Structure 1
């Protein structure tokens, strides 16, 4: 039986202690037709020693060691996608690991419907302490809490634009890149300049794919997302830099928020109550609270619903530029 090729891209930076488990979890996939592309972004630990052990494995097609750190995992994504020969792309982040059936369960769904641009599955969130790999919760638990909906309680295939309107334009509900397999043609058509992002390039790519393709979800927990101190997304949330990129993505798809007025009102409240305060230096918070809380909430809500998108974006951008940390 013919199997479509999957290009598995493993971008690594300083994940020596997790690399063996990650690479082994890819090699041990029950789906056979894969090529593995390992990209090391000038790691300062012993990652190279681990990678060299797999360099000549028959499933490893390419190994690249950067001479200088690129500064962004999405530059590594771009490099890997250019090297990929497969019909499908799986970005297997180097600190996560997969269940053996991940590809076997997901690829047939993509094969059966060429209009599906990406498919993703549920993920365990693993707390890593002393290599205990303790399971905390699943990302379905998080999505259910965020949206108060049973959408992810069962597998689905949804029109991409509807998925974008209801969920993806508001939050990155595809929370773990390692749980996603993308159609390479869909990713190429998405035409996202991934290199402009440091933290949210995955969300931007998923949004653009949703504009042209269906989105599929399989309600099986086949990926394991590792929650640890050096996790890139965790550090981004701690220093709040990710919010700048998130804002630019939300702004781009603002028209999808406008299709649902009630969700738009909720969005502006989330900006008022959480988004700006998170970005502000603690010494400036009292001042911004005074100024920002003085703005009439009803006026903002009306503006969001009736004013042109560019005026709203300009207004919020001015607030961000004036009050938040650069």
Structure 2
């Protein structure tokens, strides 16, 4: 079975050697590597160019201008993929060299396989696990719409899944989101599928690269609330209203997540008032 490995990169030059080595040296070698750089401004191209002619690289695409969204890169890679299975390997993460081999075994019986995930801190690899809500206390299950009240998979790099239909990909909406496209992607392509936890290998998630949410602007949080509101209403529509009882609690939880990250003075600002009005409006109409 052939695996398509999609490597989207933007300004992760410091981690690319480790990431690329973790891909090309896999024990399972029936794969293609699709490298996509989104107009990086650091030294990424210097590293990526070393792999441009590698025998496993099927596509090597460098954007002249930044797309503004990693999910547009995901969609581009998924359109190019020709494998039976897909792995979106984010460029600042890493994994064990049996990652593909063990996932392929799990995908003989399941649609999605999620590896055990450990966190990489500023000091290096740790024994601290990154939990994936979808597999907490479960070794295997069928994904349903109710699972999307939380993001079911905390890091896309940890998962491998069966190839997706190109017509369904064309009709998808996940790439229209800037902040939560991963959550939308999981809903559009994993909902109703069988998922399993792969404890036979380890994926490594680089956590210190994440921005502290407390430093985000009001503009960011406004978009955050808008995208989450759009998403949960979209899920309810697709599910023919069967999760309507979850819509208000979902929006409320997202709003209070913003509340808890803003100071008293910030909550007095006009921008926060706009966010508050958006929240109250959604509470009234839903």
TM-score (norm 1): 0.71
Query: Residue 277 in 1 paired to residue 259 in 2?
Result: yes
Match of 2:124 among 118, 133, 158: 133
Q: 1:219 & 1:25 partners in 2: Cα distance? A: 18
CA deviations over 1:246-267 (Å, ceiling 9, x no partner): 3322333348796697x78965
Cα 1:259–1:199 shift into 2, 3 Å: closer
User: Following TM superposition, by how much is the alpha carbon of 1:277 offset from its aligned partner in structure 2, in angstroms?
Assistant: 1.3
- Which residue does the alignment assign to 2:283? 316
Match of 2:232 among 217, 242, 250: 250
Cα 1:245–1:269 shift into 2, 3 Å: closer
Query: Residue 60 in 1 paired to residue 57 in 2?
Result: yes
CA deviations over 1:184-226 (Å, ceiling 9, x no partner): 2267536422321112111111112233422222235521110
Query: Residue 75 in 1 paired to residue 55 in 2?
Result: no
CA deviations over 1:62-96 (Å, ceiling 9, x no partner): 11111111111111111111111112111100000
Q: 2:191 & 2:82 partners in 1: Cα distance? A: 24
Q: Which moved more, 1:190-199 or 1:101-110?
A: 190-199
Aligned length: 271
- Which residue does the alignment assign to 1:84? 81
| Structure number with bigger Rg | 1
Cα 1:237–1:28 shift into 2, 3 Å: farther
- Asked if structure 1 preserves the Cα contact closer than 8 Å seen for 2:213 and 2:261, the reply is no
- Asked if structure 2 preserves the Cα contact closer than 8 Å seen for 1:186 and 1:209, the reply is no
Pairwise CA RMSD: 3.4
- Which residue does the alignment assign to 1:14? 11
Query: Residue 214 in 1 paired to residue 208 in 2?
Result: no
- Which residue does the alignment assign to 1:299? none
Query: Residue 181 in 1 paired to residue 148 in 2?
Result: no
Cα 1:51–1:276 shift into 2, 3 Å: closer
User: Following TM superposition, by how much is the alpha carbon of 1:60 offset from its aligned partner in structure 2, in angstroms?
Assistant: 1.3
Q: 1:160 & 1:249 partners in 2: Cα distance? A: 17
CA deviations over 1:125-175 (Å, ceiling 9, x no partner): 1112xxx314262112x74xxx9xxx534521x2222xx32x3x2110200
Q: Which moved more, 1:243-252 or 1:21-30?
A: 243-252
- Asked if structure 2 preserves the Cα contact closer than 8 Å seen for 1:86 and 1:184, the reply is yes
Cα 1:267–1:41 shift into 2, 3 Å: closer
Cα 1:207–1:317 shift into 2, 3 Å: farther
Cα 1:265–1:72 shift into 2, 3 Å: closer
5+ residue gaps, structure 2: 274-278
- Which residue does the alignment assign to 2:35? 38
**What pairs up with 1:73-222 in 2 under 5 angstroms?**
73-113=70-110, 116=111, 118-128=112-122, 132-135=123-126, 137-140=128-131, 143=133, 152-153=136-137, 155-156=139-140, 158-161=141-144, 164-165=145-146, 167=147, 169-185=148-164, 189=168, 191-220=171-200, 222=202
Greater share of helix: 1
5+ residue gaps, structure 1: 292-311, 320-326
CA deviations over 1:268-317 (Å, ceiling 9, x no partner): 76356x235157685352599xx9xxxxxxxxxxxxxxxxxxxx996338
Q: 2:52 & 2:247 partners in 1: Cα distance? A: 50
